[in-house]
Amino acid sequence: MKITNNNEKINSFICAGLVSKPNDASLIPYYNTIKIALNKHKVKLLVDNDSAKNLNCDGIDFDKMCQESDLLISLGGDGTLISLCRRSFSYNKPVLGIYAGQLGFLTDIKTNEIEDFIDCFFDGEYRIDKRMLLEISLHVGSCVKKIVAFNDAVFARKNTVSMSTIDAFIDGQMINSYRGDGLIVSTPTGSTAYNISAGGPVVFPLTEALILTPICPHSLTQRPLVLPVDFEIEFKSKDDILIVIDGQDKYKMRDFDNIVIKIANKSAKLIHSLKRNYFEVLRNKLNWGNM
């Protein structure tokens, strides 16, 4: 089985940038452990201004931190890592997730493994997985606002009383008219997020595919749809619908003429331990095989 689709290694590592979960002072001891472990290998650690306020340390502007760093570190849960990957998208830096959250599908280095993993990292015992991202283009007139999504873009009805109707097109041809509570457009990585709760498929995260999953559809014949990555999908609706990006950003669909979703031109680069096994993560997190 091919575990990774990327043989890339980091050639030079003299500086790392760190972002932590907001408003969580309990992470200070782990920040200190990371700093000491990196200092052992003569690596400088920068912390963005917002995180520095919680960690009682000196901070630096986020963009400057990204520019100067060879890799970025997320200290928190999956949400912290997703936010970091999205904010640092244009810099294309590898991201290491250190797990101090609730779920941990993406962040596989536990806080008690920090020192050992950093030593292994400098021995070359790690891999970098490339995870595809979505590019969401919000069109109004001649203006286009582009946003990247790590997990998903969710079209959700704002009015809980009435159904929503969302029309989807490829190359100008309608592929479906989704009637119900909404629609999820997911990456393979995001298949284990909202997508799985709505009955969508679990897709191996290195697969290249787009996943469309209806939310509580009005018809029993509506089913999740998996599409090739080179498709661009256009969405239109006259209803009062919110577009929620990775659960972090919200937009009103009525404010735009149409929405186009395709694969972003760059991938997120996640640093993982060689010991990480995706199927073991699924068994542990989803209790597969347990009675």
What is the DSSP code (8-state) at residue 23?
A: T
Q: Which of 48, 50, 78, 116 is catalytic?
A: 78
* Cα-trace Rg, the chain: 20
78 is catalytic: yes
User: Measuring CA to CA, how many Å separate 3 from each of 123, 205, 207, 273?
Assistant: 20, 10, 11, 12
Q: How far apart are CA 208 and CA 278, in angstroms?
A: 16
Q: How far apart are CA 269 and CA 48, in angstroms?
A: 20
Q: How far apart are CA 42 and CA 269, in angstroms?
A: 23
CA 43 to chain centre: 26
Q: How far apart are CA 199 and CA 188, in angstroms?
A: 14
What is the number of other CB atoms lying within 10 angstroms of the CB of residue 192? 24
Which active-site residues does the annotation give?
78
